[in-house]
Structure 1
Amino acid sequence: MARFTGKVAIVTGSSNGIGRGTAILFAQEGAKVTITGRNAQRLEETKQEILKSGVPEDNVLAVVADLASEKGQDELIDSTIQQFGRLDILVNNAGTAFLDSQGRTGLDQDVSDFDKINMRSVVTLTQKAKKYLIESKGEIVNVSSVAAGPQAHSDMMYYGMSKAALDQFTRSTAINLIQHGVRVNAVSPGAVATGIGEAMGLPPGAMEKMMSFFESRKECIPCGKIAQPVDIANIIAFLADRKLSSYIIGQSIVADGGSTLVMGTQAHNLMEVIKNS
């Protein structure tokens, strides 16, 4: 029997990247999965990827929603409970990155970007899911980032700030909820090959240029390889599997190919890399 048989999981931001990889993996491992994102076409692509692996259609619920809104969050939780009757695993993966709607970065970026997806929606969605996770003695896995660490990230300041807040939220909610049997942990990826670049409005191929730049420099990624979404999905699944990780409470597993041991990435102007590589 697959390890998540009988479990119900919500994976936010599952229209591409880490969220898509995680949703596919959970479904293949027997879970009933709610996938969600703002882009209906990309969300349907995720659903079709899941179904192609032999997962029954009844085991997948797609909810197109904007999780920056209370309405979108309510729709996500309510439709999951209505369809599957329970909730065992919440993966808080949805997030935005380091460009605002006008393409600005750093201190020039609209401060509302700090508040919207990366932190506030995680808090409020977790609040809405809390009672169902307590009923199931479930698991929460937050997707943070190595950008939360002590190094400065001037081009992605609000992103790093929000992920640092997410790490504290992970620690605090872990202590708050473990008394009810709910575990909370996180994963902190480094560079991962996802579709976030074009979703942010960057020109096609821009993120690929930056990732190629990182791979070619050992001060950026010592192992010389960008992570694929499944690499991070496997860690999320490990943290959601109580048989394998039962004694891990409130921690964040760093998965970055060694980047935080040297952290040369912040010494480069990322926007110049994107433009000129």
Structure 2
Amino acid sequence: MARFSGKVALVTGSSNGIGRAAALLFAQQGAKVTITGRNAERLEETRQAILKSGVPAENVLAIAADLATDQGQTDLINGTLQKFGRLDILVNNAGAAVNDPQGRMGIDQQIEDFDKTFQINMRSVVTLVQKAKEHLIKTKGEIINVSSIGGGPHAQPDMMYYGMSKAALDQFTRSTAITLIQHGVRVNSVSPGGVYTGFGEAMGFPPGALEKIMKYFESHKECVPCGHMAQPIEIAQVIAFLADRTMSSYIIGQSIIADGGSSLLMGMQAHDMMEILKQP
């Protein structure tokens, strides 16, 4: 029997990247899955990838929604319950780093970008968990938050608001883990380093720009000691591990760092991203 047989998973931000890989993995391993994102076209690509892997169509629910809105969250929870009748696994993967339209970074970035960053990376997670909590308590379910090494103890001078939001998410993980384990619900998180996703374009970088930065980091061992940035499936496997109570039952309120060793050195902070982009 597949390890997630009989389970229902809701994966936010599953129209690409880590969320798509996680949704595909859950579905392939027996779960019924709700996928969601704002871009209906990319969301359909995720659905088709799941179906092409041999998963029955009735095991996949696609809901195009804006997770930052109350209505979008309500549609996700209600749609999942109406389709599958329960909720066992909530993966809070949707997130963003907001670029300043004038290219300012760090403390010079406009405060509106702070609000937008915390709206999707933190506030939407809190409110979605509030809506999902009673249903996860019924199933003794799992919550996995997707954080970042950007929320760790190292400074993030260029992406300060993003780092702050992920540090807040880590505290939310720890705090809700203590509250919800009393009801049988486990809360944990994964903190990836660099991952090849569509994150750069979502930030407003030109196509290929973030990939250029990541290739540079890969060639410098003080940035990525293992020599390569992650593929989405490498992070999805950690998410699945944390969702599998047989494998990770005694892990409560922790964040597993999956970064190829980057946070042990954090040499990435010694390089100027804008200078990297100027190189041929």
Is TM > 0.5 for Structure 1 vs Structure 2?
yes
The alignment covers a number of residue pairs equal to 277
Q: Determine whether 1:175 maps to 2:178.
A: yes
Matched ranges for 1:1-277 at <5 A:
1-100=1-100, 103-107=103-107, 108-109=109-110, 110-276=113-279
Checking the alignment, whether the CA contact within 8 Å between 1:106 and 1:155 is kept in structure 2 is: yes
Partner amino acid for 2:251?
I
Q: Secondary structure at the match of 2:154?
A: coil
TM-score, normalised with respect to structure 1: 0.97
Partner amino acid for 2:63?
V
Partner amino acid for 1:90?
L
TM-score, normalised with respect to structure 2: 0.96
Q: Secondary structure at the match of 1:116?
A: helix
Unaligned runs of 5+ in 1: none
Partner amino acid for 2:58?
D
**How far apart, CA to CA, are the structure 1 residues paired with 2:82 and 2:148?**
32
**Change in CA separation of 1:87 and 1:103 when aligned onto 2, cut-off 3 Å:** farther
**How far apart, CA to CA, are the structure 1 residues paired with 2:31 and 2:85?**
13
Checking the alignment, whether the CA contact within 8 Å between 1:98 and 1:155 is kept in structure 2 is: no
Q: Secondary structure at the match of 1:163?
A: helix
Please report how far the alpha carbon of residue 26 of structure 1 lies from its aligned counterpart in structure 2 after TM superposition.
0.3
**How far apart, CA to CA, are the structure 2 residues paired with 1:97 and 1:274?**
18
Please report how far the alpha carbon of residue 104 of structure 1 lies from its aligned counterpart in structure 2 after TM superposition.
4.2
Unaligned runs of 5+ in 2: none
Checking the alignment, whether the CA contact within 8 Å between 2:98 and 2:117 is kept in structure 1 is: no
**Change in CA separation of 1:100 and 1:117 when aligned onto 2, cut-off 3 Å:** farther
**How far apart, CA to CA, are the structure 2 residues paired with 1:104 and 1:25?**
38
Please report how far the alpha carbon of residue 202 of structure 1 lies from its aligned counterpart in structure 2 after TM superposition.
1.2
CA-atom RMSD in angstroms? 1.2
Q: Secondary structure at the match of 1:2?
A: coil
**Change in CA separation of 1:57 and 1:104 when aligned onto 2, cut-off 3 Å:** farther
Checking the alignment, whether the CA contact within 8 Å between 1:38 and 1:65 is kept in structure 2 is: yes
Please report how far the alpha carbon of residue 198 of structure 1 lies from its aligned counterpart in structure 2 after TM superposition.
1.3
**Change in CA separation of 1:129 and 1:275 when aligned onto 2, cut-off 3 Å:** farther
Please report how far the alpha carbon of residue 207 of structure 1 lies from its aligned counterpart in structure 2 after TM superposition.
1.1
Please report how far the alpha carbon of residue 102 of structure 1 lies from its aligned counterpart in structure 2 after TM superposition.
5.8
